[in-house]
Structure 1
C-alpha cells in the first residue's frame, strides 16, 4: 500500500534527522555540511530546506530527537520522600546514562546559544521554567517556602556536569554530583514569589471554546512567548484551587526554537516523573504550530506574548493580554468557578 502524503513527509523527516545526528556527531556543528546530510539520507539539498529552514534549526531538531530516543536514560521508579530525596532522584535521572552519541551531539549546544543573542535570552527563560517545575516538586515534598532559587542551583550543577562529561571525561564522578545536589536541598536561601506589579485590564467574554485535541474545555488557558515563561509561576501559584491550568509555549521562530523548547522542557519533566510520585505540573504544550493560540483567536504570535483566558462549561468568560495577564485573570472574581473543575495541575 503506498504511503500517504503525511506518512511520506514523516519518513523523510525521520531520515533527515537520523542523517543529521550522524553528521553533527562526526563533524561537529561548524564543519557539518547540509550536502553531506542530504547524501546520508539519500535525499536532495532541497528536501533538507523544505523541512528545516536553517542548519541551526536542523541541529536543534536532531538534538531534541536524540534526547527522546528510547534507552537514552534508564527509567526509574519515582522515589518520593522529602526534598533531599526528590533532588537525589532528579539528579540521578538526569545523569543516569552512558556517554553516548547524544552527549557528543549536545557538545555544540552552548556555543550555538552563545552566538545567538535572541536565542540565548529564550534559553534562559526555558531554564527558568525548568527551575519553577523542579521547585514545585520540592515544595510539594515538604520544603518550606518558595524553592526556585534552590532549584536553579541544582540545575546549574547538573548542566555544568553535562558539559564536563563530554569535555573532560572522568573528571567528575556522577555519584559525587548527585550527592552535592542532595546536600543543596537543605540550603536555606531567601526566596519569595513577587506577583506582577501591574496588570492589564480583564475583558469579559461569552464565546464558545473548542479546545485542541487532548486539551480540557474548562480552566485557565495561558499562551506564552518564549520571553515570558516566568509567567508560568503566576499561573501555578495564583490559580483558584481546583482549576486546571493549560499553558502553551510559542515562538516567532517555531521551526528553530520549537525543538529547543521540547528538549529543555521534556528533559526536566521526564526527570521529575522519575523522581516524584505524581509531580504537580501544569499541562504544558510545546505549541510550535500555535494550535491553542488559534483556538483562542490570538492573531499575532510574538516572543513577548502573554495571553490568558478562563473557560467555564466550554465557553470563554474572560480574557486578558499583556504583561501580567495571567495574574489578572486568576485574580478576577469572574475566574473563580462555582464548582470544582477537576484535579489541580495535572500533566
Structure 2
C-alpha cells in the first residue's frame, strides 16, 4: 500500500507486489498471487528490468501449476517459455533453474514425461552448480514427483528422502511439508501403510507455517491412506477438507483430487450414486487442467464405480479412456526403465 501511495516505479515498487505474490501463492491463494505478479511484471517492463520481467513470468507459471496453483498447465508452459527466453539469453541462471523445473513439471502433467525429465534434470544441474539447498530440494522433489506418477516408488522415495534430509540438516521448513508428504506417499503406494504419523506431521508443519499449498499434499496423502486402509469415513473427512480449501483457492487439480478421494470413499461406503457424482465432478475439474495421470486415475475409479453398479458397458468405456491416457504417457518415454511402472 505504501509503494502505491508513493507511486514508486523503481525496484522497490517492482519487488513489493512480487513478494506479496509469493506469500499468497504458498498460502494457497494462486489467483490473488497472479494479480500481484502481473502488477509487478508491468512495472518491470516499464523500466526495462529484464531480471524481474523473467522472474514474474516464471512465478506466473508456478501459480498456474496444478500442484500449488490454479491448474492451468497450458498457460504454465507458455509463461515458463517466455521466462526462459529472457533468462537464458541474459544468463540469469537463478531464474533459468526455477523456470526449467516448472516447465518440466508442466510438460509431464500434459503427458510429455520424457521432456519433463530432461528439463528437471537440467534444473537440478544448475541448482547443484549454484549450491543453493532450497532450489536443489525443489528439483529433487520435482524429479521424485515424476517417478511417483510413473509408479516408480523406490526411485521417488530416494529423491524425496534426499530433499527432506537436506532441509532437516539446515533446519529449514520451506518445501519441507511437501517433501515429507511425498515421501510418505511413496512408501504408502509401495505397500507401507504405517505412514499416518509422517503425513500428520507434514500437515501440522504446513499449517503452522501457513504453507497451505503444501498442506493440500498432506491432505491428499491422508485421504488416500484411509482409502487403502479401508476406513472411508476418515478418508471422506480429509477429502472434503482438501476440496473445500481447493475450491476457495480456485485450484482445479486439488479440487479434482478432493472430489476423486471423496468418490473413492463413497464407493467403499456403498453409495454408488454419490461416488459417481463426486468422480464426475473430479473428471470435470481434471479436464480443465489436462493432467494425464490424474485423468487416468479418475477414469479408472469411474470404471470400478460402473462395475459396482453392474453397468459393464460404462465400465469398459471408462477403462478405454484410462488406457488412452496411459498410452499418451508411455509414448513420451523411450527409456524402458521409466516405462516399467505403468506397464505392470
Q: Whose radius of gyration is greater, 1 or 2?
A: 1
Higher relative contact order (CA 8 A, sep 6+): 1
Q: Which has the higher helix share?
A: 2
Q: Which has the higher strand share?
A: 1
Q: TM-score, with normalisation over the residues of structure 2?
A: 0.28
